[in-house]
Amino acid sequence: MRSNQEKTAAQPAQAAGCCCKGSTEDELMSRLDEIIDEYATIDGALVPVLQIAQNLFGYLPKTVLKHISKRLNIPYSQVSGVVSFYSFFSTTPQGKNVVRVCLGTACYVRGGKEVLSAMQKALGINVGETTEDRVFSLEVGRCFGACGLAPVVMINDNVHQRVKPTKIRELLSPYREAKEEGKEDKGC
C-alpha cells in the first residue's frame, strides 16, 4: 500500500473538472461523493476537494460546504474558514466571463476608477456580483503586470489594454455574442 504522500502525488486529474451544465444537483452531489471517497484518506484533502467541488458546481454553496464538512469529518467552521481565506474560492455563483478591472497605481492614475464605474453601469452590477444571467462577474484587481498599457481590464484570460470608459460596451460585446451563439459551453 502506498503512503499518504505517494497517494497525494498520484491522484487522478479530477481538479480539471468543469461546471457540468445539464447535470442535476443530485448528480453533482453524487459525483462529489465519488471524489470525496477518493480523497477521504489523504492528508490535506480539504483544499483539493473544495477545488473540485467548485469546478463541479461553479461555486461553493453552503449546502456543498456542509456536505464536505460532514463527509470529511472536518468542522464546518474549518471548511468555511479555508474557503474564506483563499481568494480563488467563491461562495457566490460566478459568471461565464470574469471581468477584472485593474485599480493598481498606474491603472488608477490613468482612469481605472472611471473604467470600473463604466463597467458597473454597463453590466448593472457592483464589484463582487454576477449578472442575473450568469454571463459576467465583476472583480477588481491590483496589478496585472501591464502598467505601461494602463488602464487594463482582464476578461477571463484576455488582457485588454488602454481601455476607455466610452468603449466598455464594445469591449463586452464579443463576450455577450458568444453567450447568445451558445459558444460559452466549453465542451463540458
**Could you state, in order of their start, the residue ranges of all structural domains in the chain?**
21-85, 97-180
Q: Which CATH architecture has domain 97-180?
A: 3-Layer(aba) Sandwich (3.40)
| Average pLDDT taken over every residue of the chain | 85
Span 53-105, pLDDT tens digits: 998 998 999 999 999 999 999 999 999 999 998 877 889 888 999 999 999 99
Q: Kindly report the pTM of this predicted structure.
A: 0.63
List Cβ neighbours of 170 (8 Å cut-off, separation of 6 or more): none
What is the C-alpha to C-alpha distance for residues 138 and 170, in angstroms, rounded to an integer? 17
Q: What band does 7 get if pLDDT is binned at 50, 70 and 90?
A: very low
Show Cβ contacts of residue 152 under 8 Å, excluding neighbours closer than 6 positions. Answer: 102, 107, 112, 144, 146, 159, 160, 161, 163
The four Cα atoms 46, 52, 58, 60 give a dihedral, to 10 degrees, of -10
